[in-house]
Amino acid sequence: MAMNLAYPYQPDSQGRTATASDDQHIRDLIEQVLFTMPGERVMRPDFGSNVSQLVFAPSSPELAGATQMLVQGALQRWLGNVIVVVGVSVEANDAALTVRVAYRAAMSDETREQTFVRPGAGP
């Protein structure tokens, strides 16, 4: 079993680098892909999904469908060797973005679902 660094980087109670379980590490990886804006990472300028910008977009069924495809594509591109995406749902309500991702770890038969919420700037 490999050591997984906790995200965001932080010290543990003994002052060492904090680690995360395999399940928590996968969740952290998904969160990084979802909420990293393309251009934020110097050595990987196309990393991320640009989904944070959608908090401010007008809500519509077309936008929801496009967003689901955007998220699923980004997860498959960046984490395709770690997870199999089973489903994605995206909701923008009251200047907050909620993304639900159902996935299976590549080495597992168990499907998991995680919910990620990104608050917007609000009024």
**Domain chopping of the chain, boundaries:** 4-119
Name the residue type at position 26.
Answer: I
If one counts every other C-beta atom within 10 angstroms of the C-beta of residue 87, the result is 12
For range 11-24, the mean pLDDT: 91
Residue 30 identity (one-letter amino acid): I
CA distance 103 to 78: 14
Helix (H) or strand (E) holding 89: strand 83-93
Write out pLDDT tens, residues 38-64: 999 999 999 998 887 776 666 667 777
**pLDDT at residue 121, rounded to an integer:** 44
Domain 4-119, CATH number (from 3.10.450.40, 3.40.50.300, 3.40.1440.60, 3.40.50.720): 3.10.450.40
Which whole number is the average pLDDT over 23-31?
Answer: 93
